[in-house]
Amino acid sequence: MFYINILLQLLFPAAVASWSVSYNPGSMCALERASVDFSCMFDCPDSHRLKTTYWFKPEAHQKQDGSQVGISVYNSEPAKIHQLYKNRTTYANRDKNCSLQLHNVSKSDTGMYFFRFETYSSRGKYTGWGGIKLTVAVLPFRVTVKTKKVNEHIQEGDPVALTCSTENCILTQEPFAWFKNQRLIPEAIGSVLQITSVSSDDFGYYSCGLKNTRSASADEVLLDVRYSPKNVKISVLPSGKIQEGNSLTLICESNANPAVTNYSWFMIKEAYVSYIGSDREFSIKSASQKDDGQYFCTAKNDMGSQNSTVTALKVEVASNRNFFLTAAAVFLFLMAVLLLVMFGRLIIRRRKQFTSKKQPTEQTPAVTVTEEIYENLRKSPESEDNLTTNVLYVDLRLASSTSDRPPCRNQENDTVIYSLLSYKH
Ligand SMILES: *[C@@H]1O[C@H](CO)[C@@H](O)[C@H](O)[C@H]1NC(C)=O
Ligand SMILES: *[C@@H]1O[C@H](CO)[C@@H](O)[C@H](O)[C@H]1NC(C)=O
Ligand SMILES: *[C@@H]1O[C@H](CO)[C@@H](O)[C@H](O)[C@H]1NC(C)=O
Ligand SMILES: *[C@@H]1O[C@H](CO)[C@@H](O)[C@H](O)[C@H]1NC(C)=O
Ligand SMILES: *[C@@H]1O[C@H](CO)[C@@H](O)[C@H](O)[C@H]1NC(C)=O
């Protein structure tokens, strides 16, 4: 407004010059020991000559609207400056520029500040209404989250404003530092962190403070962006090739807020989709080729659901085990063949032995021995007298090799055999 006034004044000085004071901004928040800039421009008709210019602060018991002049913060007559503000101000003191710097602010500086100028004309006295309200911040900082929604969760796409403020005011003239999950967000330097459309990536814990003054940092505040499951994918444990007979677990992984409440597992086999499970994990105790197929899971929360990408499972017939089994089978077969061959040969040999043994015994059967015995039997003449004894001593003598029969192999047979024979009349 006042810029327009200045502009108009430059173009038509006499025509538009009027009585005015404008402040910018209307209220300020400052840290203790900081300096504040009260930006100010004033105007009055050129016909009036300035007598005094000053900034005043109504005292606590006075009206705070500027109608009662309080203590002088600055005065073009230095003697009138209040003790509390001596050497603490810098006045612009340039044509129509009434800006004031106040240094080393303390809590007692809290209050209203007004600019007033007086001319030599008795009616030419003017106070800029409205004034500037100075508040001295009470630390620590705190983060407040503002959305258009009331009592509703923040969803993706919502506009959100995070404000770094103190208990009593928002600092605007200081450079800020913002942190997300304790990491500095370099591009955020104002007291307000504006997000025009939040995404799941913005979910996190936020804190703020003044640049280079970590000690004044605020506690962390959660930006609880709600979103349906994202990045739903299957991970297979253990990883690598799936051997037949091994156990494996499929895990349905996702990123969701709030946490996923329902999982569903599906298997696609020969174009048929079948529902196979409802837990986060789907376990196969002993993998076999019937588990071959394509799998996907669905993760669902209050915000919605998403299907995972399809994961194909291929159960491999354990080639190592198979090799050993084959080797073992071949070995056993060979052993069996070997045994058969050996057994066969044994039987053949036995048969041959049997037949070659049998033939000679048939030629000289054991009976012939008895024949020999009877042949050699001779009645002793003495025994004829004494027949009562009934005992007969017989001298058995086996035939010697003189006979045409083949000799008996057993040499023992050559010895004398005694036998008790009963003699009957
Ligand atoms: C203000 O500063 C001047 C010189 O810089 C010094 O002589 C004077 O004592 C100071 N006054 C106060 C009240 O600090
Ligand atoms: C008024 O003076 C202050 C301090 O010298 C300066 O920073 C500001 O830019 C001036 N304003 C205008 C509009 O010239
Ligand atoms: C700032 O003001 C305080 C009292 O409010 C005083 O103790 C301190 O010395 C001042 N600092 C400077 C640099 O003038
Ligand atoms: C999700 O799971 C809960 C129990 O955990 C069940 O009551 C509800 O019906 C399920 N919702 C869907 C859509 O499957
Ligand atoms: C997810 O899978 C289910 C079951 O096959 C199907 O009904 C649904 O349409 C799928 N959703 C998407 C987004 O593809």
pLDDT digits (tens, 9 = 90+) for 196-225: 999 999 999 999 988 877 656 778 999 999
Question: Sorting pLDDT into bands at 50, 70 and 90, what band is 321?
Answer: low
CB 247 within 8 A of CB 286: yes
Q: Of ligand 5's atoms, which has the minimum distance to the CA of residue 306? A: 13
Q: Of ligand 3's atoms, which has the minimum distance to the CA of residue 104? A: 1
Nearest to 293, CA basis, from 280, 308, 307, 274: 274
Distance 35 CA to ligand 3 centre (A): 12
Distances (CA, A) of 114 to 67, 104, 216, 234, 358: 10, 19, 31, 68, 148
Provide the CATH topology of domain 231-316. Immunoglobulin-like (2.60.40)
CB distance 86 to ligand 1 below 6 Å: yes
pLDDT above 50: residue 416: no
- Could you state, in order of their start, the residue ranges of all structural domains in the chain? 18-136, 142-223, 231-316, 366-425
Q: Which CATH architecture has domain 142-223?
A: Sandwich (2.60)
Same fold for the domain at 18-136 and the one at 142-223?
yes
Q: What is the mean pLDDT of the chain?
A: 82
Exposed/middle/buried for 57, CB within 10 Å: 0-12, 13-18, 19+? buried
Distance 425 CA to ligand 2 centre (A): 175
The whole-angstrom separation of Cα 6 and Cα 3 is 5
Pocket test residue of 83, 86, 90 for ligand 1, highest count of atoms within 8 A of CB: 86
pLDDT of residue 14: 47
Residues near ligand 2 (Cβ within 6 A): 41, 92, 94, 97, 99
Contacts with 93 (C-beta within 8 Å, 6 or more apart), sequence order: 53, 76
Distance 307 CA to ligand 5 centre (A): 6
Q: Of ligand 5's atoms, which has the minimum distance to the CA of residue 307? A: 1
Residue 78: nearest ligand to its CA? 1
Distances (CA, A) of 196 to 24, 146, 206, 228: 27, 12, 17, 20
CB distance 262 to ligand 4 below 6 Å: yes
Distance 200 CA to ligand 5 centre (A): 22
DSSP 279: S
Residue nearest to atom 11 of ligand 3 (CA): 104
The whole-angstrom separation of Cα 264 and Cα 277 is 6
- Write out pLDDT tens, residues 216-269: 677 899 999 999 999 999 999 998 888 899 999 999 999 999 999 999 999 998
Long-range contacts of 278-286 (CB under 8 A, 24+ apart): 280/251, 280/252, 281/249, 281/250, 281/251, 281/252, 282/249, 282/250, 282/252, 283/247, 283/248, 283/249, 283/250, 284/247, 284/248, 284/249, 284/250, 285/247, 286/245, 286/246, 286/247
Nearest to 221, CA basis, from 159, 165, 298, 172: 165
pTM exceeding 0.75: no
Check whether domain 18-136 has CATH 3.10.20.30, yes or no:
no
The whole-angstrom separation of Cα 237 and Cα 250 is 6
